[in-house]
Amino acid sequence: MYNGIEIDMLSLGNADCILVSFWSGLTVQRVLIDGGNKGDAPAARAFLRDLKIDTIDDVLSTHHHDDHSGGLIELLSDETLKFGKVWCHVPQWHVDMDKVWPALKAAGSASDEAAKIRKSLQTVADIYNIAKKRSITLEEPFKGKRVGFLEVCSPTEEFYNGLVVEMTDVGKIKAEDEAQTRYDIQTNLEETMSKAILGESSDSSLMTDPHTEPENEASVVTGITHDKKVCLFTADAGTSALTNVLRDYPACKKLFWMQIPHHGSRRNVTKNLIDLFAPNTAFVSAEGSKKHPRRAVVNAFKDAGTKVYSTHYPKPLPLRQCVGTVPTREGYEPATALYDADKLAKKSEPDWSGLAAILGGSK
């Protein structure tokens, strides 16, 4: 008889799709967190098919960026899959769209942020319409609610309402665009100067006051405790949301397992937050570029005693974490922690230093 949790993080580059399964005896409940980009839907569908899964009890859209909800739209439209409930924030229920939408359209292409918000609002509308068409119940996930067996830790409705105002205020969006440009220029300048002085080791430092856009801060953070072990799913949550989680849920200190937010970006965590969460194990969904995951973020987790694994390393593969007793699964092998394969590769390289010395001495 089983009694445990399975966490499957798919390998989709810089995109999130996580299947969480809770086993009780021979009964299993499943929550699908996000679905990657639109083009990732076939890979997500194939993964479910390989596990002979055609029913998902709860689907959670953490926020409305394409790399999280684009694939969800495709999966929810697939009538070979059955869904019990959809959890999704609907900004249109929290602001006066009769005022917001014309202003967003008027901003035109001059504002990248306004374009993102327009796209997100359309994504929400698509999810809502698909759920309505298929007669799937849709509910907003706020703190204290339960998405299946997962507890919503953030955002509160009050916190979310404040973020929605920021998201849809055209004046603030324009100011944010300008502030972000200045921030990026300053950050790039600081990084360039640091590298000139310290070399590549400068990438080992974290930002002291990072910030991410309101849509990311509004990400749904969920958690579960099993056998006194706490697992935390963070999506793209930023420092404000994560600080609130630590304040409201002291059990989130010294975690068993954690998703590193925003594909390992430096804009979402600080050293203090990492030291407080200090998970035994952390997964990150990333493509393996310089920014995702940031070496500075990975190193900070490692310094906190965490084993860090990425979906890209040493080759793109899904990651699986189990807590308690769950069915065995063929074809899986132990994962390699980030940078460990690099160390092994260096150790296996022949040592030519002695030969170089002899050749040098013979001249």
Distance CA 157, CA 164 (A): 10
List the structure tokens of 201. Answer: 């080791």
The reported pLDDT for the residue numbered 202 is 45
The reported pLDDT for the residue numbered 361 is 41
**DSSP-assigned letters across all residues of 184-195:** HHHHHHHHHHHH
Residue 314 has pLDDT above 60, yes or no: yes
Residue 353 has pLDDT above 60, yes or no: no
Confidence of residue 201 (pLDDT cuts 50, 70, 90): very low
Indicate the burial class of 307 (C-beta count within 10 angstroms; 0-12, 13-18, 19 or more): middle
Average pLDDT of span 114-139: 94
Confidence of residue 346 (pLDDT cuts 50, 70, 90): low
Whether domain 2-325 has CATH 3.10.310.30: the reply is no
Q: Where are the alpha helices (DSSP H) in the chain?
A: 41-50, 66-77, 97-107, 112-133, 157-168, 170-198, 214-217, 239-248, 271-277, 295-303, 340-348, 353-361
Distance CA 93, CA 294 (A): 36
Domain ranges of the chain: 2-325
Model pLDDT for residues 254-307, shown as the tens digit of each residue: 999 999 999 999 999 999 999 999 999 999 999 999 899 999 999 999 999 999
Residue 332's nearest CA partner among 32, 8, 3 is 8
Strand order through the sheet with 257-259? 146-147, 150-154, 221-226, 229-233, 257-259, 281-284, 307-310
Model pLDDT for residues 3-54, shown as the tens digit of each residue: 999 999 999 999 999 999 999 999 999 999 999 999 999 999 999 999 999 9
Among residues of the chain, what percentage have pLDDT more than 70?
84
| Bigger pLDDT: 204 vs 150 | 150
State the chain's mean pLDDT as an integer.
Answer: 89
The reported pLDDT for the residue numbered 205 is 83
End-to-end CA distance of the chain: 73
Strand order through the sheet with 82-88? 137-139, 82-88, 55-61, 27-33, 18-25, 2-9, 319-325
The reported pLDDT for the residue numbered 188 is 55
What would you report as the CA-atom Rg of the chain, rounded to the nearest whole angstrom?
22
Residue 193 has pLDDT above 60, yes or no: no
Distance CA 144, CA 250 (A): 15
Distance CA 123, CA 90 (A): 10
* Long-range contacts of 156-165, Cβ-Cβ distance < 8 Å, separation of 24 or more: 156/244, 159/240, 159/241, 159/244, 160/89, 160/94, 160/218, 161/94, 163/214, 163/215, 163/217, 163/218, 164/91, 164/94, 164/95, 164/214, 164/218, 165/95
Please tell me the pTM assigned to this model.
Answer: 0.88
Residue 181 has pLDDT above 80, yes or no: no
The reported pLDDT for the residue numbered 360 is 41
